[in-house]
């Protein structure tokens, strides 16, 4: 009989998923290099997602704008899902599928790193924005789940959390976000 608690089983499951991330470590290192180069060249990081991924996008932008470990200058990062007025205006006037793409028309400069987060890999509004960014000089990074979905086709760097379970995908995404934030900070400021 297995006497492990449900919490202990959950930890085991997450650890098994996290171990699979080693397979994308080379891609993560390339993303870190792209972000460092982008920021050192006066460009910015633009992040966005829906639901839990929206929270992860806010978290990622905050780690870059504020600090991770080091007391240092803020870095140029913005989160497209942080402005409720823009989201509701664009959603009302152009449809929900355009809430991230439309702001990119005014914000995106060639060489900016654009990070779309979608656990399914198929969120239409994230897909539309990533397609726009890819066609207009953005360095596209997808934090995706499952098989990467349709969005992976528009990502120079698809970072796919290999799970079918949304909470596990989100847990892997936050690990990736924290790792990237820590290493970007160290490379720029140490």
**Which pLDDT tens digit goes with each residue over 75-88?**
999 999 999 999 99
Mean pLDDT of the chain: 95
The answer to whether residue 185 sits within a structural domain is yes
| Per-residue pLDDT at 11 | 83
Q: What is the pLDDT of residues 33-84, one digit of tens each?
A: 999 999 999 999 999 999 999 999 999 999 999 999 999 999 999 999 999 9
**CATH code, 106:** 3.40.50.10490
The answer to whether residue 168 sits within a structural domain is yes
104-110 CB contacts, 8 Å cutoff, 24+ apart: 104/46, 104/80, 104/129, 104/132, 104/133, 104/136, 104/138, 105/132, 107/44, 107/46, 107/78, 107/80, 108/46, 108/132, 108/133, 108/136, 108/137, 108/138, 109/43, 109/44, 109/137, 110/136, 110/137, 110/138
Question: Whole domain around residue 178: which residue ranges?
Answer: 12-189
Weakest-pLDDT range from 8-17, 115-124, 136-145? 8-17
- The pLDDT confidence band at residue 2, using thresholds 50, 70 and 90, is low
The answer to whether residue 3 sits within a structural domain is no
Q: How far apart are CA 139 and CA 3, in angstroms?
A: 48
Beta strands, E only, 21-129: 45-49, 77-79, 113-118
Structural domains counted in the chain:
1
The answer to whether residue 176 sits within a structural domain is yes
pTM: 0.95
């Amino acid at each position: 009989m297995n006497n492990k608690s449900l919490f202990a089983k959950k930890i085991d499951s997450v650890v098994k998923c996290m171990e699979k991330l080693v397979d994308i470590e080379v891609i993560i290192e390339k993303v870190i290099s792209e972000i460092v180069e982008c920021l050192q060249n006066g460009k910015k990081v633009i992040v966005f997602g829906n639901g839990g991924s929206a929270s992860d996008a806010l978290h990622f932008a905050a780690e870059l704008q504020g600090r991770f470990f080091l007391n240092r200058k803020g870095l140029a990062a913005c989160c497209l899902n942080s402005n409720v007025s823009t989201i509701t205006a664009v959603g009302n006037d152009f449809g929900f599928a355009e809430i991230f793409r439309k702001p990119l028309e005014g914000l995106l400069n060639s060489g900016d790193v654009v990070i779309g987060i979608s656990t399914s890999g198929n969120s239409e509004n994230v897909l539309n924005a990533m397609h726009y960014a890819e066609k207009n000089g953005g360095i596209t990074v997808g934090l995706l789940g499952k098989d990467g979905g349709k969005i992976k086709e528009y990502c120079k760097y698809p970072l796919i959390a290999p799970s079918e379970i949304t909470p596990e995908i989100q847990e892997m995404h936050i690990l990736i976000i924290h790792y990237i934030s820590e290493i970007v900070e160290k490379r720029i400021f140490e």
